[in-house]
């Protein structure tokens, strides 16, 4: 096979399917009334969004643009789970009118809802509400927000959640039938989800809620050595939820993102140059830190090297080689390759576990979006070609060019 031009992402379809099925099976076995809402923000590659749709997932979206993408790719309004602080009023109404899921996040949304309910006095609107609660207290050291509060939803501890529930109870044709409890954690541990499920029970009891769904959000591990997998979470979640809920009355919603797509996704890059500057070896690659670590938080990566077979020279062990990207930013350094054979032009570095928060965070910086292939039956099939200047200029007003 002719070598493909790097850099490019590859999604292994069979592995993706395996993870999707693992999730669905675990939910079915433990809480046989469930819904999977795929988190668009984690990776909204159109092929991927269509793949999960074919498997029965709804679209979990957090902006009007994401909502519009879901609609563009064939999701009905009733197949949307609408979350986050930045919804659009138009789409908010469309989803509610169609019986999709809306999890309220702000006071502004309360007023949108009141207006909608008044306009349609004969309709009954069912909504969910996002609770902001002190998960750090339940799982010390594990959450992303730590001791300071999270930014999303209505805060339980300060009484804002109760206040919002009261406001909603005063609208005659609105009922709160869902709780949304997504919380991001560093640990992604089973204990985090046990605590979130406990919180669902506590809120239900304290506020006498009648819930048709509990939405645990995303934040699971998947495909990481030594870390939990889907089947580890849901027996524990079910055990906790059973204390206050039954599957016949209450649906369990999950919103996986990274856990579904990490294991199946790789990023293939090539080395095009090496250089020594004041005793430091820089290895220049055609992939950038912006492709796989746009938020600049990683210091190590899972990867493997495929050596350039046509090179016959020796490869002395080098103490440090700084693997860098193609951009003209000094910070575009991916990792330091230590005590390893010398890398040379034509070698490939293939990064693993790069499905989440990579493609969707790629900038159009210096080089345009790389191609994406899927691996199906051992063959690579292109599902997105590399972007060209024509793609880049498409939103520009022609008359000013």
Ligand X SMILES: *Cc1c(COP(=O)(O)O)cnc(C)c1O
| Contacting positions for ligand X (CB under 6 A) | 39, 41-42, 60, 62, 83, 182, 217-220, 255-259, 356
- Closest to ligand X by CB, 130 or 204: 130
- Closest to ligand X by CB, 48 or 343: 48
DSSP 161: H
CA distance 72 to 184: 28
**Bond prior to 190 in cis (omega within 30° of 0):** no
- Closest to ligand X by CB, 6 or 262: 262
- Closest to ligand X by CB, 256 or 325: 256
SS3 237: helix
- Closest to ligand X by CB, 100 or 256: 256
- Closest to ligand X by CB, 217 or 228: 217
We find the least distance from the C-beta atom of residue 130 to ligand X, in angstroms, to be 8
We find the least distance from the C-beta atom of residue 138 to ligand X, in angstroms, to be 18
Using an 8 Å Cβ cutoff, are 168 and 177 in contact? no
- ∠36-171-149 over CA atoms, to 5°? 55
SS3 295: coil
Using an 8 Å Cβ cutoff, are 136 and 146 in contact? yes
The residue whose Cβ lies closest to ligand X is 257
- Closest to ligand X by CB, 41 or 263: 41
Helix 89-97 crosses helix 107-119 at what angle (to 10 degrees)? 50
We find the least distance from the C-beta atom of residue 259 to ligand X, in angstroms, to be 5
We find the least distance from the C-beta atom of residue 213 to ligand X, in angstroms, to be 14
CA distance 365 to 382: 22
We find the least distance from the C-beta atom of residue 317 to ligand X, in angstroms, to be 38
State the alpha helices, DSSP H only, in 175-302: 190-207, 230-241, 258-261, 289-292
We find the least distance from the C-beta atom of residue 133 to ligand X, in angstroms, to be 14
DSSP 163: H
Closest CA to 96 of 176, 192, 155: 176
We find the least distance from the C-beta atom of residue 24 to ligand X, in angstroms, to be 16
Using an 8 Å Cβ cutoff, are 45 and 359 in contact? yes
Category of 59 on φ-ψ map: left (φ > 0), alpha (ψ -120 to 50) or beta: beta
- Closest to ligand X by CB, 41 or 93: 41
We find the least distance from the C-beta atom of residue 219 to ligand X, in angstroms, to be 4
Show the tokens assigned to 62: 């957090």
We find the least distance from the C-beta atom of residue 261 to ligand X, in angstroms, to be 9
- Closest to ligand X by CB, 168 or 258: 258
We find the least distance from the C-beta atom of residue 26 to ligand X, in angstroms, to be 15
- Closest to ligand X by CB, 57 or 271: 57
CA distance 54 to 230: 20
Show the tokens assigned to 288: 């950038």
User: Whose structure tokens read 């002190």?
Assistant: 134
Helix (H) or strand (E) holding 183: none
Number of other residues whose CB lies within 10 A of the CB of residue 72: 10
CA distance 185 to 142: 6
CA distance 38 to 175: 25
């Amino acid at each position: 096979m002719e070598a493909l031009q790097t850099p490019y992402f590859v999604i292994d379809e069979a592995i993706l399917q395996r993870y999707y099925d693992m999730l669905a099976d675990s939910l079915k076995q433990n809480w046989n009334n469930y819904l999977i809402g795929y988190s668009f923000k984690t990776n909204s590659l159109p092929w991927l969004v269509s793949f999960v749709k074919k498997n029965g997932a709804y679209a979990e979206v957090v902006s009007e643009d994401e909502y519009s993408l879901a609609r563009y790719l064939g999701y009905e309004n009733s197949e949307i789970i609408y979350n986050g602080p930045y919804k659009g009023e138009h789409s908010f109404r469309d989803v509610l009118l169609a019986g999709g899921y809306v999890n309220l996040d702000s006071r502004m949304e309360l007023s949108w809802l009141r207006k909608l309910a008044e306009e349609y006095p004969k309709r009954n609107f069912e909504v969910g509400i996002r609770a902001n609660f002190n998960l750090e207290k339940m799982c010390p050291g594990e959450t992303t927000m730590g001791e300071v509060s999270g930014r999303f939803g209505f805060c339980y501890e300060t009484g804002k959640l109760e206040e919002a529930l009261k406001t909603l109870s005063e609208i005659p044709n609105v009922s709160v039938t869902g709780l949304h409890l997504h919380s991001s954690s560093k640990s992604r541990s089973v204990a985090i989800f046990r605590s979130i499920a406990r919180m669902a029970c506590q809120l239900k009891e304290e506020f006498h809620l009648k819930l048709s769904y509990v939405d645990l959000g995303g934040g699971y591990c998947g495909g990481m050595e030594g870390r939990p997998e889907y089947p580890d979470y849901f027996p524990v979640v079910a055990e906790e939820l059973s204390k206050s809920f039954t599957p016949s009355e209450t649906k369990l919603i999950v919103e996986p993102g990274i856990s579904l797509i990490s294991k199946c996704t790789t990023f293939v890059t090539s080395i095009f140059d090496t250089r020594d500057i004041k005793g430091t070896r820089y290895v220049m690659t055609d992939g950038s830190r912006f492709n796989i670590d746009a938020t600049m938080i990683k210091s190590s990566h899972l990867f493997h090297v495929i050596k350039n077979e046509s090179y016959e020279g020796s490869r002395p062990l080098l103490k440090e080689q700084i693997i860098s990207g193609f951009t003209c930013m000094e910070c575009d350094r991916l990792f330091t390759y230590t005590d390893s054979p010398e890398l040379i032009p034509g070698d490939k570095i293939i990064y693993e576990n790069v499905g989440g928060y990579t493609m969707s965070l790629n900038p159009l910086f210096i080089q345009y979006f790389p191609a994406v292939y899927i691996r199906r039956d051992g063959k690579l099939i292109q599902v997105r070609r590399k972007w060209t200047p024509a793609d880049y200029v498409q939103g520009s007003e022609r008359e000013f060019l």
